[in-house]
C-alpha cells in the first residue's frame, strides 16, 4: 500500500515548497523507496497552458503532453522519474470533471457541493497515483494556508488520513521564520499563526519545516515544538542554500527524511540512505571555478522562471564540464541596439528559447545571425529553431521577407507555417503538437554525434513547423535539416555545417535534462562555449570527432 506525504505552506508564497517536496522525494528515493509526486494547484485554469509565462513562469511539458506547473520540472529533476498529466491537478480541472459528471447525471439527483463532491474528486486525483509500484506519493498543495481557494484541498487532505489510516499519511508544513534586524531576533509568531490556521481546518502538522536565512537554534526549535505541538525532532531548519541541489543535503542533515519515515511507519534503519552520488554532484557544483557566459535571448527575461528548465539544463551542463554558467538575460527587443556593443561579442554562447507571439522576434533573428556570423555557439529551442530558419532563409537563401506565418500572415515566404497532418488537413483551430515525439537523426550530422544515437524522442509544445515546401531551398543554401520525424514530413533539427555549434530543435530538450545526466544538446553547447571562452580553436568537444565540420 502506498503512503502519502502532504506538503502545505504558510506565511508567504515563494518559500520553496516545490523544492522542499522535491528534496524530500530525492531523499526517500535515496533510501531505496519508490516515489512519485503531484501538485494540486488552487487556480481555476484547467491547466497552466493558457497562462502567461511572464507572470506564472514556465509551462512544464510531460512525456504524455501534459501542460503542467513548473514545479513538476523540479520533481522530475530531483526524483529522476518521468511524471505525467495526472501529476498536476487544478481547481479548474476538478470543477470541469465535477460539472460534467453532474450533467451526465452521475450524482443521481443530489445537490452537488464542495463537500463531498469536490473533495471526493480531489482525493480521487491523489489516490489514482497510488499503487503497488509506488511506496510514497508526495503531494504538494499550491498556495498558502489561509488562501480562500485552498480550503477544499485542505479539507480533502484532512479526510484523506481517515480514509487510508493514520500511519499512512504525513503532513509537512513549511513556514517562514523571519529575522528582524532591529531586535536581532528570529520570530516564530508567523509560524504559530500559520499552524493555528491549519489546525482550524482540522490538520495538526506532523513536521514543520522552517525556512530562514539563519540557522534555527535548539531553543527556538523547542519553542516551536511546544507552541505548535510537534516533537522537537520534527522541527526542521531549512536555511537558504547556495544551490538548489544542496537542499536535499541540508534537509537530510536536519533529519527530515528519517522523521517522515518514522511517521509513515517505514523503519529508517530498514531503508538506509545512499547519498554518495548526490554529494558528489553538490561537490562539483561548489568547486566549479571556470565560467562561461551564456546569453538567453528571449522576451520573458524579466521573469527568469519563465525559462526555468532552460536555466537548469544549462546549469546541469556546467556541472558536467566543471564550469559555472553565468547567464546574461538579453531582452530580445533590445538585440538590434546591442549589435555594435560588446554585449553580444563577449558571450561564449547563446540560447534562443521557446515562446509565442510576435514581440521580440526580429531581435531573435538578429541574435541568431550574429551567432552564425561570429561563430558563437547557439542553440535554438522550438521558437528558437523557427527563428534560425527564418534567419537562414533571409540571409543565406536570400528569400526576402521570409517569416513564420505566426508573425506575418502575408509573408511572401512562409518558411515556418502550419503543416497539414497525415490526412492532409491543416488545423487552424490551434491544436498543439504536445508531448514526446520521435525523430531520426541524419547519419554524420552534428546532432547524431552529440546524442550518440540515430533515433531520439523529445517533448514538444508548438503549432508551427518548418514548411516542407522550402526545405530543398534552405538545404541548397547551406542549412542542414539534420533530424526529421520518422516519416520525414516534419523537420525536428537543423544545423549549419562548418559552424562550431548553430543548432536548432523543434522540441524542448530542456525538460529532459537532469542534474546528474545533462541533456546532450546542452552539454555540447556549454562544451563549445567553453572552447570559445578559453580562446581555443572552435570545435565541438567531448562528443566524438567532428573536425570535418568544425
Judged by the rule CB under 6 A, the positions of this chain that interact with ligand GLN are 354-356, 382-383, 406, 461-464
Pairing of strands 480-484, 433-441: antiparallel
Active site residue 510: yes
Least spacing, CB of residue 383 vs ligand GLN, in Å: 3
User: CB neighbours of 393 closer than 8 A, spacing ≥ 6?
Assistant: 399, 402, 413, 415, 470, 473, 474, 477
CA angle 481, 434, 95 (to 5 degrees): 170
Active site residue 81: no
CA distance to 28, 261, 270, 276, 278, per residue, from 273 (Å): 8, 12, 10, 9, 11
Distance CA 371, CA 378 (A): 6
Residue (241 or 432) nearer to ligand GLN, CB: 432
C-alpha cell belonging to residue 486: 520518422
Least spacing, CB of residue 529 vs ligand GLN, in Å: 22
Residue (37 or 352) nearer to ligand GLN, CB: 352
Distance CA 508, CA 32 (A): 30
Least spacing, CB of residue 354 vs ligand GLN, in Å: 3
Closest CA to 459 of 441, 482, 483, 438: 438
Least spacing, CB of residue 432 vs ligand GLN, in Å: 7
Q: Spot the catalytic one: 30, 382, 460, 495.
A: 382
Least spacing, CB of residue 59 vs ligand GLN, in Å: 9
Residue (218 or 358) nearer to ligand GLN, CB: 358
Residue (2 or 309) nearer to ligand GLN, CB: 309
DSSP 255-324: THHHHHHHHTT--GGGS----HHHHHHHHHHHH--EEEEEEEEES-TTSGGGGHHHHHHHHHHHHHHTEE
Residue (34 or 463) nearer to ligand GLN, CB: 463
Residue (26 or 462) nearer to ligand GLN, CB: 462
Least spacing, CB of residue 231 vs ligand GLN, in Å: 47
Least spacing, CB of residue 435 vs ligand GLN, in Å: 13
Helix (H, G, I), strand (E, B) or coil at 141: strand
**Residue 378 phi, psi (nearest 5):** -145, 130
Active site residue 328: no
Distance CA 247, CA 257 (A): 12
Q: Spot the catalytic one: 67, 76, 465, 510.
A: 510
User: CB neighbours of 279 closer than 8 A, spacing ≥ 6?
Assistant: 249
Closest CA to 142 of 71, 245, 236: 71
CB 92 within 8 A of CB 37: no
Residue (352 or 479) nearer to ligand GLN, CB: 352
Least spacing, CB of residue 417 vs ligand GLN, in Å: 10
Residue (365 or 382) nearer to ligand GLN, CB: 382
Crossing angle (nearest 10°) for helices 276-287 and 308-321: 90
C-alpha cell belonging to residue 102: 453532474
Distance CA 364, CA 370 (A): 10
Least spacing, CB of residue 327 vs ligand GLN, in Å: 19
Residue (419 or 440) nearer to ligand GLN, CB: 419
CB 359 within 8 A of CB 387: no
C-alpha cell belonging to residue 310: 532552460
Distance CA 31, CA 275 (A): 8
Q: Which residues are marked as active site?
A: 382, 508, 510
Amino acid at each position: 500500500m502506498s503512503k502519502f506525504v502532504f506538503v502545505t505552506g504558510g506565511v508567504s508564497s515563494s518559500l520553496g515548497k516545490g523544492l522542499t517536496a522535491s528534496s524530500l522525494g530525492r531523499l526517500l528515493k535515496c533510501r531505496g523507496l519508490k516515489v512519485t509526486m503531484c501538485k494540486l494547484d488552487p487556480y481555476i485554469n484547467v491547466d497552466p497552458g493558457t497562462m502567461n509565462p511572464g507572470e506564472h513562469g514556465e509551462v512544464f511539458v510531460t512525456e504524455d503532453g501534459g501542460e503542467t506547473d513548473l514545479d513538476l520540472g523540479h520533481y522530475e529533476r530531483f526524483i529522476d522519474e518521468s511524471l505525467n498529466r495526472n501529476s498536476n491537478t487544478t481547481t479548474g480541472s476538478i470543477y470541469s470533471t465535477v460539472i460534467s459528471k453532474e450533467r451526465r447525471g452521475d450524482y443521481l439527483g443530489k445537490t452537488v457541493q464542495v463537500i463531498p463532491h469536490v473533495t471526493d474528486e480531489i482525493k480521487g486525483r491523489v489516490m489514482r497515483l497510488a499503487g503497488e509500484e509506488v511506496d510514497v506519493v508526495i503531494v504538494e498543495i499550491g498556495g498558502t494556508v489561509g488562501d480562500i481557494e485552498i480550503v477544499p484541498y485542505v479539507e480533502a487532505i484532512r479526510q484523506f488520513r481517515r480514509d487510508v489510516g493514520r500511519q499512512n499519511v504525513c503532513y509537512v508544513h513549511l513556514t517562514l521564520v523571519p529575522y528582524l534586524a532591529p531586535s536581532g531576533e528570529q520570530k516564530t509568531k508567523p509560524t504559530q499563526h500559520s499552524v493555528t490556521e491549519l489546525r482550524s481546518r482540522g490538520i495538526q502538522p506532523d513536521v514543520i519545516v522552517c525556512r530562514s536565512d539563519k540557522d534555527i537554534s535548539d531553543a527556538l526549535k523547542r519553542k516551536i515544538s511546544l507552541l505548535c505541538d510537534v516533537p522537537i525532532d520534527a522541527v526542521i531548519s531549512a536555511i537558504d542554500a547556495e544551490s538548489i541541489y544542496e537542499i536535499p543535503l541540508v534537509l537530510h542533515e536536519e533529519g527530515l527524511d528519517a522523521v517522515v519515515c518514522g511517521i509513515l511507519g517505514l523503519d529508517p534503519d530498514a531503508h538506509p540512505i545512499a547519498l554518495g552520488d548526490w554529494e558528489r554532484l553538490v561537490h562539483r557544483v561548489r568547486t566549479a571555478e571556470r565560467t562561461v557566459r551564456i546569453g538567453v535571448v528571449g522576451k520573458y527575461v524579466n521573469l527568469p522562471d519563465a525559462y526555468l528548465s532552460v536555466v537548469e539544463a544549462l546549469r546541469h551542463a556546467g556541472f558536467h564540464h566543471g564550469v559555472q554558467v553565468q547567464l546574461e538575460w538579453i531582452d530580445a527587443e533590445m538585440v538590434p541596439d546591442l549589435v555594435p556593443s560588446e554585449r553580444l561579442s563577449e558571450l561564449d554562447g547563446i540560447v534562443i528559447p521557446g515562446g509565442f507571439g510576435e514581440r521580440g522576434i526580429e531581435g531573435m533573428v538578429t541574435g541568431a545571425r550574429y551567432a552564425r556570423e561570429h561563430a558563437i555557439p547557439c542553440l535554438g529551442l522550438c521558437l528558437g529553431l523557427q527563428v534560425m530558419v527564418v534567419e537562414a532563409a533571409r540571409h543565406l537563401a536570400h528569400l526576402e521577407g521570409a517569416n513564420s506565418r505566426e508573425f506575418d500572415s502575408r509573408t511572401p515566404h512562409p518558411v515556418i507555417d502550419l503543416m497539414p497532418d497525415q490526412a492532409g488537413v491543416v488545423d487552424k483551430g490551434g491544436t498543439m503538437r504536445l508531448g514526446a515525439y520521435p525523430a531520426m537523426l541524419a547519419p554524420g550530422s552534428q546532432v547524431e554525434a552529440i546524442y550518440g544515437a540515430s533515433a531520439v524522442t523529445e517533448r514538444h509544445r508548438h503549432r508551427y513547423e518548418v514548411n516542407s515546401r522550402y526545405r530543398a531551398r534552405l538545404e541548397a543554401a547551406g542549412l542542414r535539416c539534420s533530424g526529421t520525424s520518422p516519416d520525414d514530413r516534419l523537420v525536428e533539427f537543423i544545423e549549419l555545417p562548418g559552424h562550431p555549434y548553430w543548432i536548432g530543435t523543434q522540441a524542448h530538450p530542456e525538460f529532459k535534462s537532469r542534474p546528474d545526466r545533462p541533456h546532450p544538446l546542452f552539454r555540447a553547447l556549454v562544451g563549445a562555449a567553453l572552447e570559445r571562452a578559453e580562446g581555443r580553436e572552435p570545435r565541438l568537444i567531448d562528443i566524438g570527432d567532428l573536425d570535418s565540420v568544425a
